[in-house]
Amino acid sequence: MIKLARKNAEESGYKNVEFRLGEIEHLPVADAVVDVIISNCVINLALEKQQVFNEAYRVLKPGGRISISDVVAIAEIPKSIKNDLTNLAGCIAGAEYVENIENMLKNSSFINIRMIPKDNSKDIIKNWVPGKNAEDFVASYIIEAQKEEIN
Ligand SMILES: C[S@@+](CC[C@H](N)C(=O)[O-])C[C@H]1O[C@@H](n2cnc3c(N)ncnc32)[C@H](O)[C@@H]1O
């Protein structure tokens, strides 16, 4: 991913970007230096999701925000789907309940939390796992939240 990102940046002539190898639970970034965090389909893969949001909070500047696209659970995921490692790697089996994600964000002290289901979520999930009705158990969401500004 890092190699590909560097290659794409070079080919596109982007000089103001930098790519660092790290884990989402332990960001290679100093405290309070980031304006915005974006992430697409990584948090469902993380085993320590509370730690992910604590880290995001740590590196954000006051007033900074996260805007994440990820897969979340909207109903209990059947064991036949959950225990299939292909579905874990495929961003389905590791999905956490929407309410739990919201609580984790609150635990990390985030404010202005918004959990927004994507209109085309059912089509996205159906394409990933055809014939298993996974779209009844997980959904693609936009997750937004902010670190409080210091006045
Ligand atoms: C489904 S891919 C999404 C990649 C990219 N965000 C995109 O939209 O194309 C998930 C990526 O997360 C990485 N990943 C998985 N667990 C991670 C972790 N704990 N910390 C950082 N990256 C992780 C994987 O190596 C993989 O590159």
Give average pLDDT by consecutive 10-residue segment, the chain, 151 residues.
96 97 97 97 96 98 98 95 91 95 98 96 90 93 96 81
Half-sphere exposure of 7 (CA within 13 A, CB side): 4
Q: Write out residues with Cβ below 6 Å of ligand 1.
A: 1, 23-25, 40-42, 45-46, 91
- Tell me, what's the pLDDT at 132? 86
- Tell me, what's the pLDDT at 74? 96
Residue owning the nearest CA to atom 12 of ligand 1: 42
- Tell me, what's the pLDDT at 49? 98
Domain boundaries, the chain: 30-146
Lookup: tokens for 22: 């790290």
Half-sphere exposure of 60 (CA within 13 A, CB side): 25
Cα 44 to chain centroid, rounded? 6
Please tell me the distance from the alpha carbon of residue 84 to that of residue 140, in angstroms, as a whole number. Answer: 19
- Tell me, what's the pLDDT at 104? 98
Residue whose structure tokens are 């670190």: 147
Q: What is the pTM of this model?
A: 0.94
CATH architecture of 30-146: 3-Layer(aba) Sandwich (3.40)
Please tell me the distance from the alpha carbon of residue 71 to that of residue 44, in angstroms, as a whole number. Answer: 6
- Tell me, what's the pLDDT at 129? 86
How far does the centroid of ligand 1 lie from the alpha carbon of residue 49, in Å?
Answer: 14
How far does the centroid of ligand 1 lie from the alpha carbon of residue 22, in Å?
Answer: 10
How far does the centroid of ligand 1 lie from the alpha carbon of residue 63, in Å?
Answer: 26
